[in-house]
Structure 1
Amino acid sequence: MIAPDARLRMSALFRMQFEPAQDSWVLLYPEGMVRLNTPAAEILRRCDGRRTVHEIVAELEQEFAQSPLHDDVVVFLGQALERGWLQ
């Protein structure tokens, strides 16, 4: 379980950028690229090491006028940590 006060950030092995040719956000890494869907990109863009998980969830709920998003965000963050995208 990821603590609500955890401050996650992108792993140094990955770089996130918008790719116009793909018309989507992607994660670039030495061996290739991962194309992100919109929810994944919105979550990862906020993982800057300053925001807490709680703050990220609150920001997403406000921006997209949807609630509750906590469980979905935490599940995705767990998967991103397992894949080494975040630290």
Structure 2
Amino acid sequence: MIPGSDRPRLARHVRLVWSPARQQHVLQLPETVVVLNPTGAAVLGLCDGRTTVGAIVDELATRYRDVPGDEVRLFLKSLVARRCVEMADD
């Protein structure tokens, strides 16, 4: 699992943008678009390279009723594996 002290950020080649056509946030990658649900967009919106995973989980808990920290970490882990998110552990 991803430690709570890691600080995620979007990789340089990835952009989180609002798609007017889809009326939702998407991740833009070279030659690919990943459509996000609102919770996924909220997680990635907090991935600024300064905010820790633990702080992201805490922030989401204030916004939403039920956001399991393990699911947030699993989501970020899958995006790290796809090279969409990078982690700093300082």
Global fold match (TM > 0.5): yes
Once the two structures are TM-superposed, the CA of residue 38 in structure 1 deviates from its matched residue by: 1.4
Q: Which runs of 4+ in 1 moved over 4 A?
A: none
Identity score, percent: 36
For 1:25, the equivalent position in structure 2 comes to 25
CA distance in structure 2 between the aligned counterparts of 1:14 and 1:8, rounded to whole angstroms: 13
Of Structure 1 and Structure 2, which has the larger fraction of its residues in strand? Answer: 2
CA distance in 2, matches of 1:44, 1:84: 13
- Which residue does 1:2 correspond to in 2? 2
Relative CO higher for 1 or 2, CA cutoff 8 Å, sep ≥ 6?
A: 2
Deviations 1:31-54 (A, max 9, x none): 121111112111111110010000
What letter corresponds to residue 28 of structure 1 in structure 2? Q
State the TM-score, normalizing by the size of structure 1.
0.92
SS of match in other structure, 2:21: coil
Distance in 2 of aligned mates of 1:34 and 1:70:
22
Q: Please, which runs of 5 or more residues in structure 1 have no aligned partner? A: none
Matches within 5 A, 1:1-87: 1-66=1-66, 69-87=68-86
Q: Deviations over 1:6-53 (max 9, x none)?
A: 001000011110111111101112212111111211111111001000
- Name stretches of at least 5 consecutive residues in structure 2 with no aligned partner: none
DSSP 3-state at the match of 1:9 = strand
Inter-partner Cα distance in structure 1 for 2:39 and 2:55 = 16
How far did residue 83 of structure 1 move?
Answer: 0.9
